[in-house]
Structures are given as structure tokens and as C-alpha cells.
Amino acid sequence: MAIFKGAGVAIVTPFQKDGSVDYESFGKLIEFQIANQTDAIIVCGTTGESSTLSHEEHLAVIQYCVEKVAHRIPVVAGTGSNSTQTAIYLSREAEKLGVDGLLLVTPYYNKGTQNGLYQHFKTIADAVKLPIILYNIPGRTGVTLAPETIVRLCWDVENIVGVKDATGNISQTAHLMHLAGGCLDLYSGEDAIITPILSLGGSGVISVLSNIAPKQTHEICSAFFEGDAAASCQKQLAAIPLVDALFSEVNPIPVKKALERMGMCGGTLRMPLTEMEPAHAAVLEKEMKAYGLL
């Protein structure tokens, strides 16, 4: 059974102006998500700026999220690392904190061969009992988890159950699903191609867009699952200009600007991320208004 089905939000981590975690705003964001039909919360992922959180902060943010959500929807924690031992540590601690699943990114910088990637993920999975979603995002990590390796892991390792596909390569995704034969849950890692991923047998999306438009993103998925592919497609296409604006600069710079504009939290980022360029911010505001968010 899938950890979740539908639209899971890759939630931001709000920061105070001094750079510390803004838990008050984080709590408001979580409640906003649940009130607007988000199907799961993915905490401490790319959008949550996990790469700039200390281990203590990382686990504190996960703990706060789990306690705030209080079993109303699934919580999936990003606990991946380029160090296998660090990923095991974070994964075990997140398991103790009560998350429903883990999201493990491909190891960046030192990369690993396909066999090395297989051993990395298998070793982490063997150290916990939680279901695991692999996170394939070569644009950030510099390494691609091959379809054959993904399928091998899902067949060989009982608690590796799915993949967040942020390759943007729909042909490769189709090849993956052909090889999988139903052995894995596929989540889109790209907000612009949610419906196409669902059409290949996907279970949903792990979404940046959901931070500001949770109900609409949920509906892209729910319409498809209810048998109305045309409505899902229509909703997907309507979101494209806003999605483009949300990725006009590196994520999560634009989505934090959008949340700030909505009064949901401050737009503070941790370096090396910096304030959004004014020209891009103007386009983002224009598209938010066109989408009915402002």
C-alpha cells in the first residue's frame, strides 16, 4: 500500500529574520495544508532547505511536524545524505519520532556507481522498518538513479516502495514503469507534469506548488483518480504559468517569496540562496493573481 496517494506538499521550512526556524509560521503552514486537502506532508526535503539545517534542527523540525499533524495525514521525512551513515542516523531518529515514511535523495557529490547506489539505499533501508521513497533528482545531485536500479531495489528490499521522479524525462519514466510491472509507487517531482505522470500509473506528486495552492494541486490528482482525465489535464494546464514562475529561480526562492506575499510566513532564506530578483518577483505576483491566490 502506498504511503499516500495524491498531492503531498514538499513543505518549506520558515525562518525568522535571524535565520532560526520559525515554528509559529510552520504550524500555520501545516494547518493551512491540512485544511486545504493536502494528502501528505513531506518535511525536510529540498524545498525545506534541509541541506542548510543542522542535524539537531533537522530532527527538531521533523518532530514538530509529526506532533502538529497528529496523524491527520501522513508525514514523510527527508533523511537522505551523501553519507550513508548520516542517512542511517537521520532515518533511525526520524523513525523514533513517528514519521510514516522516509524520502531518500540520491547521494550527491561523491555520487556512486549504480551498484554503489543500490548498496547505499539497501543499507539504509535495512537499518529501519519504515517505507521508503527514493528521490531521483539528477539536476541537483549530479547522478541519475537508473530505472533498472530503482526496480531492482523495489523488488529486493521490502520497505523500498516508491520513487519521486524529478528527472523531467518522461520517456525514462515510461521505461521505468514498464520495467516495474506494478512493484513501485511513482510520484511526480515536477509540478508541470503531474497529469502525465499519473497517466503512466503514478500515485501522485510531491509538490512545490502545493505550498501555495494545496487544494488545486490535490484536485489535479483527485480528478484523474476519479476517472476524469480531461479535468485533470485542464487543471494541470491552468497551473503551468504559475509553475513556471515558481521555478524561474532555484527552488525554494520563489515559493518562499509567494508565501511571504500571501502573508503565510517570512521569505527568509539561508545562504547560498538569496532574495528573488525583482523582475522575477513581479512575474510571480502577476501569475499568483491570475491563478486567484492574491
Annotated active-site positions, please? 135, 164
Torsion, Cα of 78, 147, 207, 190 (10° steps): 140
Residue 26 CB neighbour total at 10 angstroms: 22
In eight-state DSSP terms, residue 78 is E
202: three-class secondary structure by DSSP? coil
Q: What is the DSSP string of 35-82?
A: HTT--EEEESSTTTTGGGS-HHHHHHHHHHHHHHHTTSS-EEEE---S
Q: Which of 138, 120, 135, 201 is nearest to 165 (CA)?
A: 135
What is the phi/psi pair of residue 276, to 5°?
-65, 140
C-alpha 187 chain-centroid distance: 9
Look at the block and give the residue holding cell 545562504: 271
List, in sequence order, every beta strand (DSSP E) within the chain.
6-10, 40-43, 75-78, 101-105, 132-136, 160-165, 185-188, 204-207
Q: Which of 193, 203, 201 is nearest to 170 (CA)?
A: 193
CB proximity list for 47: less than 8 A, separation 6 or greater: 10, 11, 12, 208, 211, 251, 252, 255
What are the residues facing 105 on neighbouring strands?
Answer: 135
